Structure 1
């Protein structure tokens, strides 16, 4: 136990620090190893669609990650050679056509809250994407920090194919920042599938991997991130997200304040001592 934990008031720790390695997921698979949590959407017979229940559980779990002391990076993937086919046609789309406006808004806010929770959690999220990545699945991939794909992956923001606008779960704000306004417009207006090699050229995918290696490669990246200065990584993620709405002057000042906070960490001191001793620093996230 480090000194900062020993100095922390137990009541404050109880409300703001928790371990999630033992979390028992109900609607997907969840495991934690070496500080890396892996979320596996696990309905391979249907290409891993989301349901009302899985949406809500994912939203709540990503919301809890900001308090986790034993998870420092997250991998999101799908079982059976596909990532996620979007909202389940029978368990979501069918019921939605029968709902009135208040209930429909409850649903769309819930789905948006999943993206908010993914962006607000301090852990970097690496998506391992093979096969079908469509609709809400494409949004989950978009909301991740890094995306590892395969040549056979097919990513489609297909909302207009079902008579809906492309402005779903933050797509019109986030996708143009990843691939550019013109390319995002094409994907959101047409709903066409973005192939793996094209997706890498466009910058949607950070890299392409062999299908049998994409999950392991994503987990290796997540382990590298989890072994780094995790407090500082969380600040980086926060600033990458918040600076979208800042002027350059505001961003420079916000980064000055954020970096000054990081300079107070033990990890900053550890890095200096390791440099002087000519060895690799062992970061502890404090």
Structure 2
């Protein structure tokens, strides 16, 4: 359940990542993967630092004055091509069973931190979201894709289970079991037009010749969320995640309690006053 705002949380420092960039603009936190020469492939360090960042942002979500939504994007031509072959894949062959399990648990911790983070996340999918990059985009709340972009849950093509980093839990809930089974069993590319058809893409934009149009559209979508009632948006994401594991009766009761909390928040009264005065609401 979402907690009231705590001004003391403003003092909680954000991590200073070395492997990517983080900045806040217009109440939107922008996370930029910065290995464009490798299609922003992930390293062990990127995994750890991203997990730390999402964890702290979640703890700061109730603070006044901070980010109200997030964009996850990649520098250069691509979003993320998955785990780096040199930094991760080849080094996995040096690990024993316990070491491999430590790695796979670490990758899952990132996705768990993204889903647990109360701020809505918009993924800007330029060109390719493959492997772990595809799961990160999937774990985001909204996904903006360029027309030339594609997802590739390519784990089966390298002899691994398609059920990786929570993909087999998340994907059926986004696109349905039938589509998820096809995508995760075959590992084929899923182009942007099909992603839009099955609900994997929230928005598809023209990215030729200007591929940065995808980043701009993702930021605009995140800003729409950030400009809205933040308490309500946090509550909505929290309930969407929590209710995935509830039966219908429990979900109805959880929503009743959540909505009663929202009705006590000043934003609810402000929306009604703004309606009566025929003006835009001024959200807390």
- Asked if TM exceeds 0.5, the reply is yes
* Equivalent residues of 1:23, 1:30 under 8 A apart: no
**Unpaired stretches in structure 2, ≥5 consecutive residues:** none
> 5 Å matches for 1:137-286?
137-211=133-207, 212=210, 213-284=213-284
Q: Provide the secondary structure at the position in 2 that maps to 1:117.
A: helix
Deviation at 1:198, TM superposition (A): 1.2
Q: Provide the secondary structure at the position in 2 that maps to 1:165.
A: coil
The Cα offsets for residues 96-150 of structure 1, whole Å up to 9 and x where unpaired, read as: 1111122211111111111111111111100110111100000000000000001
Report what 2:40 is aligned to.
Answer: 48
* Equivalent residues of 2:15, 2:53 under 8 A apart: no
Q: Provide the secondary structure at the position in 1 that maps to 2:17.
A: coil
Q: Provide the secondary structure at the position in 1 that maps to 2:94.
A: coil
Deviation at 1:160, TM superposition (A): 1.1
Is 22-31 or 199-208 further displaced after alignment? Answer: 22-31
> 5 Å matches for 1:5-154?
14=8, 16-18=9-11, 24-68=16-60, 69=63, 70-154=66-150
> What is the alpha-carbon distance in structure 2 between the residues aligned to residue 193 and residue 123 of structure 1?
29
**TM-score, length basis structure 2:** 0.92
**C-alpha root-mean-square deviation of aligned residues, in Å?**
1.5
Deviation at 1:180, TM superposition (A): 1.2
Q: Provide the secondary structure at the position in 2 that maps to 1:31.
A: strand
Is 190-199 or 101-110 further displaced after alignment? Answer: 101-110
**TM-score, length basis structure 1:** 0.92
* Equivalent residues of 1:157, 1:188 under 8 A apart: yes
**Unpaired stretches in structure 1, ≥5 consecutive residues:** none
Runs of 4+ in structure 1 over 2 Å off: 16-20, 22-25
> What is the alpha-carbon distance in structure 2 between the residues aligned to residue 44 and residue 79 of structure 1?
5
